[in-house]
Copies of this chain bind each other. A is one copy, B any other.
Amino acid sequence: MTYPDTFEGFAVFNPSPETWSTVKKYEFTPKPFEDHDVDIKIQTCSICGSDVHSATNGWNKTNAYYPLVPGHEIIGKVVRLGPKVTDFKLGDRVGVGAQAQACLKCKICKSNNEIYCPHLVHTFGGVYQNQDGTETHSQGGYSNYARINDYFVFHIPEELSNEEAAPMLCAGITTFSPLVRNIPKELPEGQSKPRVGIVGLGGLGMMGIQWAHALGCETFVFSRTSRKKADAIKLGADQFIATAEDPDWVKKVEFDLDLVVCTANSAEGFDLNTYLRSLKIGGKWVNVGLPETPFTVSPRSFMANACFMGASHLGSHVEMIRMFKLAVEKGVRAWVEKIPISSDGVKEGLERCRYNKCRYRVALTDFDKAFA
């Protein structure tokens, strides 16, 4: 069978340390087509750190399943519309991020927080509870097609190329949402701009720095070494701090920042207690990376400045629309390296992502050729 009965994607079959990045073509049956569904013929999908964590089962999910097709930074063309879809027409260029479904009825959803809906389904690695009573594993965007509820499908502004836009759908919104939710609305006398830190310059940091700058913040970038300093400045950093190169780095920013968005992907060797000292009284630290091991923190670490630590997951429909508007207005673009999709291309992309060997995202392209 072929589309629309089955889709085809590049799947991880075994998350073991030897085979996690080895993908093979895999035919799968998508969820039943429902009234609000949109089918998308995929043109581009960029590679997110979550793809790696899922390919290795690094989060030790007990309900992980394989074969698993990763990918949730998806751009393509609308090829089929459910009868209740009103916002799209055939041929529209659209994007899909990491969320594919929510109940859209609960108090969480009704408050524009559908990303925190207890019934959310992720674009891959999740389980759809279909209207016909069946269940379907969700599979991601290293595929020829995606079938997604229209609330989680977004128009892509014509000013952005596929590759410039794709990473915004996860890395972009993941850093945009905690900024717009937590940048203080009022500033003390004498402070003209919010002071925001971005920790780490990878796929998330690359987007976060640009958003913080575009949102009018004085932007502080923290990285271990100076290696990425020129890039950080180009992305919009006002200050760059190489934490491994100056044991007293925190003195430059002590009690100074309103908000820090931390994209660090590992808790190991991460000196959270020192970092927290960079926050103003009552300042906020938001984790958007998802380390595989926990932090150990004492309430005392927060007591020196009454600071807060939290986390954030993706962002809402309303925020996604606002984000793309800002990208157009302020010239924000994802920085990507392109790799044509294939078994080898996916392997290379996943490994570059895992070992921080790209500036700063890999976008899989040429889907037409791979799924001819």
Binding site for B on A (CB under 8 A): 59, 107-108, 111, 113, 116, 178, 181, 188, 255, 281-282, 284, 287, 289-291, 293-313
Contact = CB atoms under 8 A, between A and B. Distances in A.
A295 B116 CA distance: 24
Contacts of A313: 303-304, 306
Given A294-B298, A308-B308, 5 more contacts: A116-B281, A116-B306, A294-B299, A306-B312, A308-B310
A281 B306 CA distance: 20
Contacts of A309: 302, 308-310
A200 B302 CA distance: 20
Contacts of A298: 291, 293-295
A277 to B, nearest CB: 10
A298 to B, nearest CB: 4
Contacts of A290: 299-300, 303
Among A284, A293, A301, A310, the most chain B Cβ lie within 10 Å of the Cβ of: A310
Given A282-B181, A302-B311, A188 B111 contact: yes
Query: Which of A284, A291, A311 lies at the interface centre, i.e. has the most chain B CB atoms within 10 A of its CB?
Result: A311
Contact of A306 (B304, B306, B310): B310
Given A108-B281, A111-B188, A111-B281, A296 B296 contact: yes
How many subunits of this chain does the assembly comprise?
2
Contact of A116 (B178, B284, B294, B304): B304
B281 A308 contact: no
Nearest to A309: B309
Nearest to A291: B299
A293 B255 CA distance: 25
Contacts of A255: 107-108, 116
B287 A308 contact: no
Nearest to A283: B310
B312 A303 contact: yes
A16 to B, nearest CB: 23
Nearest to A106: B255
A-B interface, 5 closest residue pairs, ranked by CB to CB distance from nearest: A308-B310, A302-B311, A287-B299, A308-B308, A294-B298
Given A107-B255, A108-B255, A309-B310, A297 B299 contact: no
A73 B144 CA distance: 69
A93 to B, nearest CB: 30
| Best-surrounded residue of A113, A289, A295, A298 (most CB of chain B within 10 A) | A298
A50 to B, nearest CB: 12
A126 to B, nearest CB: 15
Contact of A311 (B107, B181, B296, B300): B300
Considering residues A107, A281, A293, A306, which has the most beta carbons from chain B within 10 angstroms of its beta carbon? Answer: A306
13 contacts: A116-B255, A116-B305, A289-B299, A290-B299, A290-B300, A291-B298, A294-B298, A295-B299, A302-B311, A303-B312, A303-B313, A306-B313, A308-B310
A309 B302 CA distance: 9
A298 B310 CA distance: 10
